[in-house]
Structure 1
Amino acid sequence: MSVRFFPARFFRPAPTLAALMVIALTCALGNWQLNRAHEKLARAARQQALAAATPLLLGPVPLAASADLADRRVRARGRFDAAHTVLLDNRPHGNGTDSRAGFLVLTPLRIAAEGGTGQGASVLVLRGWLPRDAQDRSRIAPFPTPAGEVDIDGMALAAVPKVYNLGSASEAGQKIRQNLDLAAYGAELGVTLQPLVLEQRNDTGDGLARDWAPADSGADRHYGYAFQWFGLAALTLVLLLALGWRRSRATAPAQASRMN
């Protein structure tokens, strides 16, 4: 008497296909989380390498858009256009220890043209974080905007930090918004904006919080998520094999009797 092994009989097509789909999906999500962690670590390493570099001085002539601008130290001198300050809502405190919701404060800085006459390109400055009134978000705590020419030191961001937004209606002209697109905002103001956002690091006496989260913030969390997704994939595979083994044990006697 001999018993032959037929895997196709021990793994039902529908459950097996579903399990393989779960394994493929969870592995893809795990790889995505690993890539997110690696991106943050790479950005932190880039910032560290650029920390000792001479700051890029922004002038009245707009720079050419380039990925190399991101994370560079930059400096600009000009006048804040306080009338066009925008507050981005639902933003947590950058240090990661404050659970309060708040605003990111952005104000265009108009850079004077050479010779002190006219206006050159402006740069959008991410000035800092402001806590939000828990009862009425339109009740904005006062924060002074420096008058006259100021020097702003900081780091270049490729774009304004974004959050997921369910709505699609235009927010043009509103002081409080969810997100801000750099090119669209320049068109809205009718000015030429530098192809970067200046994340301010120096103090100008406005009372805004500027303890920005480090570039590698959250990398450990992404590794943890990746471990969970890969763990789920491994568990699904173990369950698939275990159920197949149990089915093979249950069908082996009946198969052996038919072959005798």
Structure 2
Amino acid sequence: MQRAQEKQERVTQIEQRQSVSRLSLDTVLNEQDRRDLPFEVKGALQLDKVFLLDNRIETGQVGFHVLVPLETESGVLMINFGWIKANAYRDQLPQIQLNQDTYSFYGISAVPTHNPMVTETATASAPWPRVIQSIDLTLMSAFLDHPLLPVVMQLAPEHQMGFVRNWQPVVMAPEKHYAYALQWFGLALACVIIYFVALRKRRSKTHD
């Protein structure tokens, strides 16, 4: 029930934030909560330093998210250009084709979180594009040998560049949490009923 309430608050925040005009990168960086903010930025892509986020699923197919650093006046920003299908063989990475002459980008801000269940397999000696298991900005900064800004732009679906972009900031809707809560309440009630039925039968048997 608590998770459902948290998700509902998040959905409301997303709707409110994405209804405003695009902000500047500096405005986003100055926010206490940097998530879900529409913003735009200009800069030069580092197309020789592409990251491929592994094991991303789109319509039942396995692929990668393509992340490219962008040099801006405020620092280096990581942009997620969306999903691209993986090749049949793991040692054959997909070809990444992006326009070097594009300098203006817009999308939604995201703040990566650390997942302790994910073990990173990338190393500093791996070739580019470099396959990573999670968006760890500290590790990616080390690979790039310069710091990254603490937000990631999820490129807007209507932007001319990039790949498949079906962003889902809330993976599980509040209604599903309520449904799971109802199932657990039902199981708890069933356990209580079974307990009292068993207790009654035991007392009846003892009396007999």
Q: Does residue 150 in structure 1 map to residue 103 in structure 2?
A: yes
The structure whose RCO (Cα within 8 Å, separation 6+) is larger is 1
Residue from 80, 84, 94 that aligns with 1:130 = 84
CA distance, structure 1, for counterparts of residue 114 and residue 7 of structure 2: 14
CA distance, structure 1, for counterparts of residue 155 and residue 114 of structure 2: 14
CA distances 1:164-210 after superposition (whole Å, capped 9, x unpaired): 43x4x55233411211211232233222322111111042334x101
TM-score between the two structures when normalised by the length of structure 2: 0.83
Residue from 41, 47, 54 that aligns with 2:14 = 47
Q: Does residue 104 in structure 1 map to residue 65 in structure 2?
A: yes
Q: Which runs of 5+ in 1 are unaligned?
A: 1-33, 114-119, 254-260
Q: Does residue 231 in structure 1 map to residue 197 in structure 2?
A: no
TM-score between the two structures when normalised by the length of structure 1: 0.68
Displacement, 1:139?
2.3
CA distance, structure 2, for counterparts of residue 160 and residue 131 of structure 1: 24
Q: Give the 3-state SS of the residue equivalent to 1:75 in structure 2.
A: strand
The runs of at least 4 aligned residues of structure 1 exceeding 4 Å deviation read 160-164
Q: Does residue 177 in structure 1 map to residue 129 in structure 2?
A: no
2:28–2:39 contact (8 Å) kept in structure 1: no
The alignment's C-alpha RMSD in Å is 2.6
1:144–1:205 contact (8 Å) kept in structure 2: no
Q: How many residues align?
A: 203
* Counterpart position of 1:81: 46
Q: 1:164 to 1:102 in 2, by over 3 A?
A: farther
Q: Does residue 198 in structure 1 map to residue 158 in structure 2?
A: no
